Structure 1
Amino acid sequence: MSILSELSERVPGRAHGPGTTEYDAGAAVFAGVGEPQVVVRPRTADEVAAAVGLAAASGLPIAVRSGGHGLLPVDDGLVIDLAELTAVELRPDGTVSVGAGARWADVAAVLSPHGLAVSSGDTRDVGVGGLALGGGIGWFVRQQGLAADALREVELVTPTGDVLTVDETSHPDLFWALRGGGGNFGVVTRFVFQPTPGDGLVGGHVHFDTSDVPAVLRAWRDVMRAGPDELNSTLTVMPEFAPGMPAGPQLGIALQGDESRLRELLEPLLSLPSVTEVSLGPVAYGDLLEDAPPGRPPFVFVGGNGFVPDLSDEALDAIARAYDREVPTMVLLRALGGAFGRVAPDATAIAHRDAEALLIVNGVLQPDATPEQVAAAKAGSDAALAYTSGTYGNFSAEYGDAVTASMYPPHTLERLRRIKAEIDPGNVFRRNHNITPAR
């Protein structure tokens, strides 16, 4: 009997083979399209457990699809697509229960009317599951910390098909690992977060031309160093992509406060002569989330990301040089500190709590770029990334042991490997930034 037939018996109506809409949706992820044997769309934790148990017994590779962004394509295995698990409910105790297949727009729609928020992804369609398990650097990271820091409980299906409630008192080591360790330990079917006030926001965008990128970088750093936790921002420096997409620094900003206070805080940036556009005003939590670009980008990105402990003048000069080169280069700086930095480095699996910012540097090449062009683009990006202390896995498009080792300090990775050996000694869940079980 085929795996599709067996799953159709165990979870009727939930298993889908090639040629169906559900199969096509489950097989497609940001990194490409795979050819799994079957895609399962469970509606309950018990249905997830049935699929996991059968696949594990058959030795089939398993991939879990939440939003599909950070997942490797799967060939000749099983995709568990959580697209049906989308319920979001604000509970009487003030926490919010979120199905693992929900998108952040779903969460915002429930929380915004109550003036609440959870630090979330930047776009509406980012899946809650992958982002939260990988840490979750979001709009409120300075005042709330990571999405994983707001996590209070998860419902987890283990590799053996058990359904566990995991929190600080029940399976505390596993709860520690789930907050930053990704999908290495099972299938999370439900999250419970503690939201915090997210109303009274002002924000928007400030655009600059390319005449003095180093000055913008320094002014942004100084503003964020002096600003309160309630000031959150991302500075993106774009190359010239196409008409209608101007090159230069673009600041996205949000403050829990009033507009006059925001303009006062931003004055060192707003007074720069390279400013071309200022759009600031009241903004709702849900409106901070933007629409993601449709489809896969028609480019090859060469570079990476990392946590920057110190945005020194030397580091900013290296970032400016990475942008100002022949290879079109995109730079993103996400301000950290605040609540993010007040969490102890051993409190979760995200240990780089001393970081002042998250840096992403990518050379932008055509798909037919030569190996020499790729090497040149990588060298320029690496020069800026040399000022980072570790990789943020949610933004890494590369996989392998070296990448996983760069995500965690040695003592953090060793603890994760011990927990992995306890919960998943056979490494059933490995289609991810894989943490290999300790031996």
Structure 2
Amino acid sequence: MLSTSTKNFHVKSFSNDSLTMPTLAPPSSSLFSSVVSQASGVQTVRERLLSTAPSIGEVEDLDDTETVDLHSLSSSTHSACESCAQLETDFAGAVLFVESYHGPHRILTQENSSPRKDLYAYYQQATTGPCPTTTPPAGLSKLELSKWEKWRNLGNMTRQEAMKRYTTALDNLVDDWRRSANLRNAMDTRSSSMGASDASIVRSPSDAGSATPIRVQRSTSMFERLPRIYDELGELQERVEDEAKKREVLEEHLLHFTRDNRSMFNEQLEQMEQIRNSLVSLVKNLEDDVVQHSTELQRLTLRQQEVAARAENSMLLAVEARVRQIFLVVRGWVQNRMFRAALIVLVGVRVWHFLRRRRLPQFLAQLLIRWLAKVSSLDGGNAPQLANSAASRRYV
């Protein structure tokens, strides 16, 4: 009984340890092979017990029916006590874990969190019982009032149910809280006490002088425990397979993500290299252009200095500049309206004197007079006077 209970405890501890978050680390091959070997061994023992169970029952029927009834009653009582002790031990370990917790889960360290209030209500229900009053005591703070309301809402819940809900709530929050050292010591102490009680129960039929019920007790205990151990090992194997599948999926996603990032990073590096080469070539071309322009500018500066020296010493350029100044002055005079009219009159008078001296034909003189009168009319009112004077002189 002691060895079976210890084995069962180790299986449960490993099962609880396996309820962790999926990681990328592959599961241990030795651990998985040991679990598979244990499962196959348990299945073999179970088949043997199932095959030998009828013969054991026949021996029991032949010995004493009353002894078997007494044994079944004590076995059921022992199972109930064992479940109660297991629940109390789990509850005590959970309370110790919550009170001494300083881990990363802030929801367990903050008093105003809803799960912490639920744990308080379950603890009060399991230790004190139902809430004794229907109205809150005076002087409670807002936090204490909310805790009291949580406790009151539990109603007439039994202490065992409150303990079970306490451990279940902690299981939902922290997966590996059962691996605490204090809880392991408590479980070991409980296993030792269970082994001593099993030994006392087994010895009681022996003192009565019957040897067959001892074999029935041991066989029945193993027969009851082995299916549960086998089921737990099956669940553990399924969890290991699920963890392996999750690990494969995560590895696939990680490889895909790493491959995409690597390809993108390589593309970025290639683009950066192309940009760098383009910038280097552009800077080099700009430097060459700057050197070329600087050389051209120096050459043009020297040429300008030479041309300036020649221009200062050139007589032709001086005459050209003087003629240009005179031309500008004359153009300014010609653009003046009065000067232009006087010039036209002077030219007309000179032509008139020339015609009088040359004695041109009469029709040419009339045409010339008309042209002069027309041109004079464009410059002002001096034209009629010129025409009249010309006509009077002609008739004279």
State the TM-score, normalizing by the size of structure 1: 0.18
Q: By percentage of residues, which structure has more helix?
A: 2
State the TM-score, normalizing by the size of structure 2: 0.20
Q: By percentage of residues, which structure has more strand?
A: 1
